[in-house]
Amino acid sequence: MTALVTGSAGGIGSAIVGKLRQEGFEVKELDLVNGFDVSDPRAWEHIGSVDLACLNAGVITGESEIATLSDQQYRRAVGVNVDGVVFGVRRLDRVMPRGSTIIVTASLAGLTAIPDDPIYGLTKHAVVGFVRSVAPQLAERGIRIQAVCPGWADTALTTNGFRHDLTERGFRLLQPHEVVEGVWAAYKSEGTGEAWIVQPGRDPLVYEFKGVPGPR
């Protein structure tokens, strides 16, 4: 079995790589530190078929105030968090075999408000919506796609100041291995287009979206 993991050098990414290798996968690591830019569509054209793809690369802006958000912060977040998923899924849909799976690392910020970083929230809402919307057409070609939505995790994204602020406000940070449990649960599920919540002290569970009211 073969797999790829984007953002593989980070805390969650390296934990995913470790889990997949433990489960017998041959894993290709894709990260900016080894020259792979998920936001570059040309980079994806060199990616071949795998049985499992974990699209995990992600960044925060670190900016809570929209008035002081820079163009660079905004474009980088959208490029990595949204373009990196869309370009990845587009390429993988072209090359993956039937029976394969794509797991996208989204966030609880894609299911609820996140005043600490509204642009991060924007990108993760986009990712969750994309996964749910693209799932039916991928299913027609025998490919499943799932989103994993963890709360804040204790990784390099949560800088010391932000980590301290979160803990002072009563947040319990996830450890990377706990997020991996959600990734594995989403992979083992028979569903597609699901959003798997990962919270400290809970088993991973599928988020239940309420349907919107129909016309009168």
Annotated catalytic, 120? yes
CB atoms within 10 A of CB 187: 20
Distance, in Å, from the CA atom of 115 to the CA atom of 67, rounded to the nearest integer, reads 13
DSSP helix/strand/coil, 22: helix
Which has the closest alpha carbon to 92: 2, 182, 189?
A: 2
Catalytic residue among 74, 120, 187, 207: 120
Give the phi and the psi of residue 174 in degrees, each rounded to 5.
-70, 150
Distance, in Å, from the CA atom of 56 to the CA atom of 5, rounded to the nearest integer, reads 7
Which has the closest alpha carbon to 113: 102, 105, 125, 104?
A: 125
The residues annotated as belonging to the active site are 120
